[in-house]
Structure 1
Amino acid sequence: MEEEEIIEPEENTTDEARVNVDPKEIRNTAILIVGCTGAGKSTLGNWLLDENLFKTDFRMDSVTQVCQTISIRIDGRDFVLMDTPGIFDEVGNNEKHLPRIEQLVNLCTYGIQAIILVIDIKDYHNFERTVRIIKKFFGNGVTNHMIVAFSNVSKDQNETNRIESRLNSSMKEFLKTVQNRWIISPNPDVFKSDDEVVKRCMASIKDMILKFGNAYHLYNFNEARYVVIYIFHVQVGNSNIYIQYNYVAHKSTGFHRSFLLLSFLVSVML
């Protein structure tokens, strides 16, 4: 698998955020932002940070091609905010992006406090497929730690915080499974960071994040995976060499190839 480039962390200049956190140095519970390409994941991340630290663009191709991590403090608690590549991306496909997300999740040894699913309220077509992939990828228990953030909402609906008329039946049913934890991610073309609408929405989602109990841990994530072990025997002269190859794959349909190579164990028996 292609190795991710690790950028050395910059010195923290504020109490709220630090850019380019080395994933190997993750020491806090994570907040994961997921969703389709162009849904506004990076924009939501910037709203949460109250700074434009995640790269954003107005084009529909995925700006986030690798996982971005930034430290964030919410009400005195430190977390690592993670922005992930888009699912159903037209530039980089799922077989490329999901292993990267999986690698990052496996580094979250302190667990995941919340998974924020960003949904373009106009994108009914990809909604059900996105939810299905996420459940298969993280396991059904992921809904116990999920918050839905709707983007591309009108100015009036942002101000009144009422979007029921825009939701189809599938969206309404899914919101029930996450105990109606949802917020609106304001449109940055309409609202500024100091607007009361933005402050209200971000205060709401931060409150939801803090109210989760135990973090979602790796053993929950691993329930959605399986391991296949191959043992190869090679005889070289008078030596018997046994190579154990651990192949970790996800139960998500269509992603049984090109996942993590955990280890090679070589035993030489003379």
Structure 2
Amino acid sequence: MSDAEGSGGGRAPHGLRGTGRTSLLLSVSDSRRIVILGKTGVGKSSLANTIFGEKRFTIGDTINSETARCRAETKTVCGRSITLIDSPGFFDTDRSEGELKAEVLRCVTEYAPGPHAFLIVLKVERFTEQEQAVITKMDSYFSEEFFKFATVLFTHGDQLPPGKNIQQFISNNRLVDSLVAKCGGRCHVIDNKYWNGPGPEDPYRSNAMQVRGLLLTIDRVIQANGGRCYTNEVLQAVERKIQQQIEALKREQRNISDAEARKQSKDRVFVGLCVGLAAVATGVLLVAVFSVTGPSGVVVAAAVLA
């Protein structure tokens, strides 16, 4: 699918058309916002660098001030403008919710008005009790609507048994197979370390081929969803706050660029969210972000707009 397909026509100010959930459409000039989700250590930052074909994201072996922060970078890949949002390990089973709260709020400002696709990142490995717990935790947060925008992406492809593809590998794990099924059967595999060559003997084990396939899958996801992004009351409320700040900044600084105005506005909104949502538990925030409707979303959206 070309960048123009599924764009839904002209672009309204600030990239928004109307106020309904289904009216946030992808325009030719928009960047596809792709959120990368998964527990710490599965290779999310390395995956982002592999998709971009260069090092844009810091890679770390442990949780630290760099790798535990939400970060977004934009680049044109295969003719598409792509914004990759590297999220911290929301689904780590060994981290307190308190540690994650600030980064959840930071991610909300990056996600707004909503992502066009989610990548759920898992390793090619033997799924221990801990890995199974991560998948169960994901299931408890993600809504049916979320899965319409999601693809499962496996890293450490060199661990695939010889002659097996990723679909064959996951077929013996009920939880993983079920997760992929909820994502419409969409899954891909890469290896951030060993599959960077041309792979003449086995084209399947080539990052270049897998990334091309992944981007085509995301094109199909966007097309199937009518060009709209995933959004809900919370993300739309945050976007309204960002637009209000942009308008205020442009009154204060007439020569400020659109990109800089949005960057500064997101920072201002983030500070406000930290204060306004101080009493809201991290788990409630996650449910509100990854569910389309429900009491959590209504409560959080009201607090955002207060």
Range of TM-score over shorter length: 0.5 to 0.7
Cα 1:158–1:187 shift into 2, 3 Å: farther
1:207 maps to what in 2?
216
Amino acid in structure 2 at the alignment position of 1:203:
R
1:175 maps to what in 2?
180
> Is it true that 1:39 corresponds to 2:42 in the alignment?
yes
Aligned-residue offset at 1:140: 3.5
Indicate if the aligned counterparts of 1:36 and 1:130 stay in contact, CA closer than 8 A: yes
Indicate if the aligned counterparts of 2:39 and 2:91 stay in contact, CA closer than 8 A: yes
Choose the corresponding residue for 1:66, options 66, 69, 73.
69
1:55 maps to what in 2?
58
Choose the corresponding residue for 1:85, options 81, 85, 88.
88
Indicate if the aligned counterparts of 2:40 and 2:88 stay in contact, CA closer than 8 A: yes
1:151-166 mapped onto 2 (5 Å cutoff): 151-154=155-158, 157=161, 161-165=165-169
- 1:55-90 deviation line (CA, Å, top 9, x unaligned): 113x35466110011003244332321111123548
- 1:137-189 deviation line (CA, Å, top 9, x unaligned): 4533211111111123336658753452454111112211111100012141x
| In 2: Cα distance, 1:263 partner to 1:105 partner | 11
Higher relative contact order (CA 8 A, sep 6+): 2
RMSD of the TM alignment (CA)? 3.6
Indicate if the aligned counterparts of 2:31 and 2:80 stay in contact, CA closer than 8 A: no
Cα 1:200–1:132 shift into 2, 3 Å: same
Which consecutive unaligned segments of at least 5 residues does structure 2 have? 1-29, 237-275, 288-295
Q: How many aligned positions are there?
A: 212
Indicate if the aligned counterparts of 2:121 and 2:153 stay in contact, CA closer than 8 A: yes
Of Structure 1 and Structure 2, which has the larger fraction of its residues in strand?
1
1:16 maps to what in 2?
none
Indicate if the aligned counterparts of 2:123 and 2:156 stay in contact, CA closer than 8 A: yes
Choose the corresponding residue for 2:152, options 148, 153, 158.
148
Of Structure 1 and Structure 2, which has the larger fraction of its residues in helix?
2
Indicate if the aligned counterparts of 2:87 and 2:107 stay in contact, CA closer than 8 A: no
Which shows bigger deviation, 133-142 or 153-162? 153-162
Greater gyration radius: 1
Indicate if the aligned counterparts of 1:181 and 1:208 stay in contact, CA closer than 8 A: yes
SS in 1 for 2:84: strand
Cα 1:77–1:205 shift into 2, 3 Å: same
SS in 1 for 2:85: strand
Aligned-residue offset at 1:126: 3.2
- 1:196-251 deviation line (CA, Å, top 9, x unaligned): 511111011111111122211133868xxxxxxxxxxxxxxxxxxxxxx7755517
2:264 maps to what in 1?
none
Amino acid in structure 1 at the alignment position of 2:146:
V
| In 2: Cα distance, 1:252 partner to 1:86 partner | 12
SS in 1 for 2:111: coil
Cα 1:207–1:102 shift into 2, 3 Å: farther
**Identity across aligned pairs (percent)?**
18
1:186 maps to what in 2?
191
Indicate if the aligned counterparts of 2:75 and 2:83 stay in contact, CA closer than 8 A: yes
- 1:28-65 deviation line (CA, Å, top 9, x unaligned): 442100101111111111111011211113x3546611
Amino acid in structure 1 at the alignment position of 2:230:
Y
Which consecutive unaligned segments of at least 5 residues does structure 1 have? 1-26, 223-244, 266-270
2:114 maps to what in 1?
111
SS in 1 for 2:90: coil
Amino acid in structure 2 at the alignment position of 1:215:
C
Amino acid in structure 2 at the alignment position of 1:184:
V
Indicate if the aligned counterparts of 2:35 and 2:84 stay in contact, CA closer than 8 A: yes
| In 2: Cα distance, 1:211 partner to 1:91 partner | 35
Amino acid in structure 2 at the alignment position of 1:175:
V
Cα 1:173–1:218 shift into 2, 3 Å: same
TM-score normalised over the length of structure 1: 0.64
Indicate if the aligned counterparts of 1:32 and 1:115 stay in contact, CA closer than 8 A: yes
Choose the corresponding residue for 1:125, options 129, 141, 150.
129
> Is it true that 1:198 corresponds to 2:203 in the alignment?
no
Indicate if the aligned counterparts of 2:31 and 2:83 stay in contact, CA closer than 8 A: yes
Indicate if the aligned counterparts of 1:106 and 1:218 stay in contact, CA closer than 8 A: no
SS in 1 for 2:148: helix
